Chains A and B, each alone.
Chain A
């Protein structure tokens, strides 16, 4: 393998690595102004994003393509460590988008803030790990890539070193994360014992001939548990709320919008093989027929139960929250449940739906946490009730936030509706007991409306507590986002709002690309 065919495919990763090294170099040289560093981060992530989109074949971006076309969706030969599937590239694009939005918004951080190089360096490093997850085809490679991301994010959460809340969150995150890593690796080692390989292609092919049911079941069980921590599935979710809550809101946006999705892609990689195999021999058969163990139904059922429990518990707990960030965190947990539906069903339509939901979630939840960061910068407290009157004092910010919440609730003409529609349609289309997944998902959507509507009520209809109701004295910050919000955040939030509507009104390009990729993904095999 000559150098060019190795470098070409990894241009996005190398770009990020270069940016990481540059940022740390600047730190050593004493150049630590936030503006400069955020420019580097934005440039690196957007170039990488363009390159990935070019590789995917979006016509106007062809000049940025660096991946040799022969490598894309190539049939696997042997047991490779990595492979370039178009679905993987789409996930890379989604990861890069979430990192780009956070970097862009971070341009509004105080320019002399201490530790800015660390922030950007770690952010880019975490993104690098995410990109690697998207191309992994080997369990060990996959878990190591997840580790790159995880370790970076532990540190990101603790970025405000002097704040005990952040530190506590980081500590919790670290301990739970370490535990989940151990579980995943333990599961992987059991699977290695059963299959004599850590390669996902090999495991996928071998699933039909399960030699040691107990080993395999235990292996998958541990792997599900380990990955479920990353994806915040109930009952492995408890850490997420404290961490999202304690972390700086920009970082929460990245965690909820970006990094937890690597776990979902890992679910795609690890579980679609076994599940698809069962599809081939016919769904709906009893898992324990004839004394032999049929792995697919067991996994499907486990994932289905996890999905329903996750969305329901997340929503119910979100109803009880008084703090904005905690509410968003629980809502994020419930959204993970929706996404898991796609893995459970495992058809191309369902994967399309889940991927679209993941894409939508980057915009909506990432955007919502960025608004939280902006609102905190305006000096407004963390409780939902502190947000009273925001919609009348800052109509544009309020409208953008309302749009994100409506999108999360799945109101039409937003990207959140499109994704839920495609996802639940795919469940109904799959028929059988998957229809009940759609019903559960829709009922949960109905449930979630309660808490979103309540927030809308507070920010638009309730009078602000500090400002007098009389219209004689409008608050001084009349000029919109100039003061506390900052241009970076204002631009990012505006951009996200526009994207939410744009992809809600015309989703065909994205959906078409994802559908084609999903089709490839399940035919090539994970």
Chain B
């Protein structure tokens, strides 16, 4: 069988290396690589045999599997094992879309374009690796490898407090990863798993005692949760987002936050089912606090980008809630939400970036009535906000609807909390639009131009997907429910 996933990785790897070397022509190399990547992902999707109910191969239910020995020492068996199921395919598609969009959006990057585009692609490469890894160490390798390019993206191209934000981001997430690594090692060696492969860990992990499972689950959850980010470990996010360059924020919100959710689903919830059940009350509490906190704090923000950043925390809280429900419907909702939030938050961060360099400020109260002077930008603000607050026919609606349904299913009247918070979310987006887009013009410099072509092209691409999957959500749903681990134990 043709090693398709390795070929995709190799495409990105070679493309990234060439981009670093290409200097002024980096953007063309980056664009070509990203389009090739997107085409390969399209082929992956088209050839995915599990629509639904697929089971064959090394690990049942995973398509396009490859496995090669990497470190074999007898007591330590680490392989390069990759494979995809529906859940990872959805997130890989997200990676490809966001990479293309980010490359197009930053078409005019003039500060060291070779390094900029190279690091952007390296980040996406790491995320792709996380989504395809079926070996727990390989997963960790890619997970950590994402940190380094993002550190440089924030620290070199970022805003005024970029140095502080970059170091904080690096240290926070690295410390969390270390705790996760302790959990991973303990999981492998205490469960008696024969190798670090998913199949072996999956089979061995559920055999552990409930107490052990709970401790391991919490260690893993801490690592994943900081990426989410969960309150109270979220403080790196507003700093990183606000100081990151627009492309960096897009990748941070669109992809990096999804790593936490994906990791929790793939490597914790299903591998340690009893631990998960024991920890459910903790997860619910954290999820509700994160939802409420993210939303309330957004309401108080004056800075558009900061507002979007806090609303990301709120959305990821809903993802955590959906996962914590421990039902098939909740899992479906979580993955849909991650995809939707990936596209929509990317759009919103692009919008805030564009507002910033069109008007020189992101301060909401000091802007007003920008629609007549920059109609395209204003449209994008509107589409992004409406999508984020969950308007039907746009991508977030099916996702949030499923999440609420699953919550009602699992927790009955507790659904009023996320439902009520949705109203608050709608409130701060509409209030923002009312102040910024409409009313008498305020803070508009003379000779202001609407978006350059590349920025509108990038945003349009995202808008297309927002509408496409808003109308045809079953395209994603079918993929997700085809995944082998769709059924929760005990449901």
Give chain A's interface residues, CB within 8 Å of chain B.
349, 352, 406, 409, 411-413, 417-418, 421-422, 424-426, 428-429, 431, 435, 438-439, 442-443, 445-446, 449-450, 453-454, 456-457, 460-462, 506-508, 511-512, 515
Contacts and interface: CB of A to CB of B under 8 A. Distances in A.
Contacts of B163: 457, 461-462
Interface string B122-138: 00000000000000010
Nearest to A447: B175
B46 interface: no
B426 interface: no
A319 to B, nearest CB: 12
B167 A457 contact: yes
B178 A431 contact: no
Nearest to B73: A515
B185 A412 contact: no
Interface string B63-97: 00000011111111000000000000000000000
18 contacts: A352-B73, A409-B174, A411-B147, A412-B141, A412-B145, A417-B141, A425-B185, A425-B188, A428-B189, A429-B75, A446-B179, A453-B167, A457-B155, A461-B156, A461-B163, A508-B69, A508-B71, A515-B74
B148 interface: yes
In this complex, the member of A445, A449, A454, A512 whose beta carbon has the largest number of chain B beta carbons within 10 angstroms is A449
B156 A445 contact: no
B379 to A, nearest CB: 36
Given A411-B148, A442-B181, 15 more contacts: A412-B142, A412-B144, A422-B76, A425-B76, A446-B175, A446-B178, A449-B174, A453-B151, A457-B155, A457-B166, A460-B152, A461-B156, A462-B163, A511-B71, A515-B73
A418 B71 CA distance: 10
B82 to A, nearest CB: 15
Nearest to A406: B148
Contacts of B166: 457, 461
A442 B182 CA distance: 7
A429 B191 CA distance: 11
B464 to A, nearest CB: 35
Contacts of A445: 178
B293 interface: no
A406 to B, nearest CB: 7
Given A349-B76, A461-B162, A453 B171 contact: yes
A508 B145 contact: no
Given A411-B147, A461-B162, A349 B171 contact: no
A461 B155 contact: yes
Contacts of B147: 411
A475 to B, nearest CB: 16
Q: 10 tightest A-B contacts by CB?
A: A412-B141, A461-B155, A446-B178, A446-B175, A428-B185, A412-B144, A428-B189, A461-B163, A515-B73, A429-B189
B438 interface: no
Nearest to A439: B182
A349 B75 contact: yes
Given A428-B185, A435-B186, A413 B141 contact: yes
Contacts of B189: 425, 428-429, 431
Contacts of B155: 456-457, 460-461
B170 A449 contact: yes
B73 A512 contact: yes
B140 interface: yes
B146 to A, nearest CB: 10
Contacts of A453: 151, 167, 170-171
A446 B174 contact: yes
B74 A449 contact: no
Interface string B158-197: 0000110011001100110011011001101110000000
A462 B162 CA distance: 10
Contacts of A508: 69-72
A349 B162 CA distance: 42
B100 to A, nearest CB: 25
A456 B185 CA distance: 29
A454 B171 CA distance: 10
Nearest to A443: B178
Contact of B185 (A409, A424, A507): A424
A421 B78 CA distance: 11
Given A428-B185, A449-B171, A457-B166, A411 B76 contact: no
A457 B144 CA distance: 18
Contacts of A413: 141, 145
Contacts of A426: 75
Interface residues on B, range: 35 or more
Contacts of A450: 171
A411 B144 contact: yes
Nearest to A421: B137
A512 B70 CA distance: 11
Contacts of B72: 508, 512
Nearest to A515: B73
A424 B183 CA distance: 12
A515 B73 CA distance: 7
A409 B170 CA distance: 12
A412 B140 contact: yes
Contacts of A349: 73, 75-76
A438 B185 contact: yes
B12 to A, nearest CB: 15
A450 B185 CA distance: 23
B270 to A, nearest CB: 22
Contacts of A425: 76, 185, 188-189
- Specify which of A417, A445, A460, A461 lies most central, judged by the most chain B CB atoms within 10 Å of its CB: A461
A471 to B, nearest CB: 9
Interface string B433-449: 00000000000000000
Contacts of B75: 349, 426, 429
A454 B152 CA distance: 12
A450 to B, nearest CB: 6
Contacts of B185: 424-425, 428, 438
Contacts of A412: 140-142, 144-145
A429 B76 CA distance: 9
B141 A442 contact: no
A457 B189 CA distance: 36
B292 to A, nearest CB: 30
Interface in B243-260: none
A456 B151 contact: yes
Interface string B414-430: 00000000000000000
B76 A449 contact: no
Contacts of B151: 453, 456
B414 to A, nearest CB: 36
B240 to A, nearest CB: 13
Contacts of A428: 185-186, 189-190
Contacts of A418: 71
Contacts of B171: 449-450, 453
Contacts of A446: 174-175, 178-179
Contacts of A409: 174
B434 to A, nearest CB: 38
Contacts of B144: 411-412, 417
B167 A454 contact: yes
A499 B56 CA distance: 39
A283 B71 CA distance: 28
Contacts of A421: 137
Nearest to A462: B163
Contacts of B186: 428, 435
A462 B167 CA distance: 12
A445 B177 CA distance: 11
Contacts of A438: 182, 185
B268 to A, nearest CB: 18
Nearest to A430: B189
A435 B183 CA distance: 11
A431 B192 CA distance: 12
Q: Which of B70, B74, B75, B142 has the most CB of A within 10 A?
A: B75
A504 B151 CA distance: 20
A406 B144 CA distance: 11
